[in-house]
């Protein structure tokens, strides 16, 4: 891709530092849009961040706890992801799958920094219902249930699509020159930033309906396989 002048960008809900840990040297000279598009890093330097003010974030967390205390709340700041001390080992394993820097606290009121995002993992798979409840109260943040088990809450107007637009503008890349890959409902906004949309075979039907191409699923290296086919045409 580098030889052909193609820029590759990681765009994920995962913490930027988790992506760096997963891909190692492949992160060099590559943009990482992480933390649900609230943070951009390039060569380990933070280029952009978008935050929810601390007071508002804590109010949202309190409301989430009132809806169902069994949910796992992950409160992400620029430097770490906070979870409660009593989190179960099974939930901690899930958290560590997406977050490299994790800190443990007794209460979310201990957090002093502003929030990049607030994420919920719900083993009961009721996130779409929770999203509906929150959306009735909070019109000043962006709330999306990317799937039944996950919710992301970020600054109003900040999503994968808007942050990709920032990279496009910075690099002078047009929408007609951009290809994106997605599988979750939070990728609907990502699809708005491009002319060419690739949905994975295991993607949500709502996303697949907007795609130009359906690729093999994630377990079959669908992204890599499709990129190889496209650049070798």
What DSSP letter does each residue of 76-142 carry, written as one string? E-SS-EEEETT--HHHHHHHHHH-SSEEEES-GGG--SPBSEEEEE-TT--HHHHHHHHHHH-SSEE
Determine the average pLDDT of the residues in 12-37. 95
> How confident is the prediction for the chain on average, in pLDDT?
94
Terminal alpha carbon distance of the chain: 13
Beta-carbon neighbour count of residue 66 at 10 Å? 9
Which pLDDT belongs to residue 114?
98
DSSP3 helix / strand / coil % (the chain, rounded to 5): 35, 25, 35
Which pLDDT belongs to residue 3?
85
More confident residue, 86 or 231: 86
Which pLDDT belongs to residue 2?
83
pTM of the predicted protein model: 0.92
CA atoms within 13 A on the CB side of 36: 33
The pair of three-digit structure tokens given for residue 22, joined into one six-digit string: 């997963």
CA nearest to 34, candidates 83, 93, 81, 82: 81
Determine the average pLDDT of the residues in 119-126. 95
**pLDDT above 80: residue 116:** yes
CA atoms within 13 A on the CB side of 178: 21
**pLDDT above 80: residue 233:** no
Which pLDDT belongs to residue 157?
95
**pLDDT above 90: residue 4:** no
Which pLDDT belongs to residue 93?
97
> Which residues contact residue 203 at a Cβ distance below 8 angstroms, ignoring those fewer than 6 apart?
182, 183, 184, 187, 211, 214
Which residues of the chain form beta strands (DSSP E)? 9-11, 31-34, 39-42, 45-49, 72-76, 81-84, 102-105, 117-121, 141-147, 150-155, 179-182, 196-200, 213-215
Which pLDDT belongs to residue 232?
82
Q: Work out the angle at residue 82's Cα, subtended by the Cα atoms of residues 203 and 128, and round it to the nearest 5 degrees.
A: 35
Q: What is the pLDDT of residues 159-197, one digit of tens each?
A: 999 999 999 999 999 999 999 999 999 999 999 999 999
DSSP 14: S
Q: Go through the chain and tell me how many residues it has.
A: 233
Determine the average pLDDT of the residues in 60-80. 95
Which pLDDT belongs to residue 104?
98
């Amino acid at each position: 891709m580098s030889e052909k002048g193609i820029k590759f960008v990681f765009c994920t809900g995962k913490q930027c530092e988790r992506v760096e840990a997963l891909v190692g040297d492949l992160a060099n000279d590559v943009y990482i849009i992480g933390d649900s598009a609230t943070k951009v890093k390039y060569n380990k330097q933070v280029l952009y961040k978008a935050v929810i003010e601390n007071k508002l974030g804590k109010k949202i967390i309190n409301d989430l706890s009132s809806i169902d205390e069994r949910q796992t709340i992950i409160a992400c700041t620029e430097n770490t992801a906070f979870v409660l001390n009593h989190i179960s080992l099974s939930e901690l394993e899930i958290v560590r799958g997406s977050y490299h820097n994790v800190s443990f606290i007794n209460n979310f009121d201990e957090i002093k920094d502003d929030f990049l995002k607030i994420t919920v993992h719900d083993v009961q798979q009721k996130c779409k219902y929770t999203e509906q409840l929150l959306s009735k109260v909070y019109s000043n943040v962006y709330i999306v249930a990317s799937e039944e088990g996950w919710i992301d809450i970020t600054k109003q107007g900040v999503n994968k699509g808007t942050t990709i637009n920032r990279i496009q503008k910075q690099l002078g890349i047009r929408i007609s020159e951009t290809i994106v890959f997605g599988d979750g409902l939070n990728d609907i906004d990502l699809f708005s930033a491009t002319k060419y949309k690739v949905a994975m075979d295991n993607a949500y039907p709502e996303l697949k309906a907007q795609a130009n191409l359906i690729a093999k699923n994630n377990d079959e290296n669908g992204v890599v396989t499709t990129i190889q086919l496209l650049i070798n045409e």
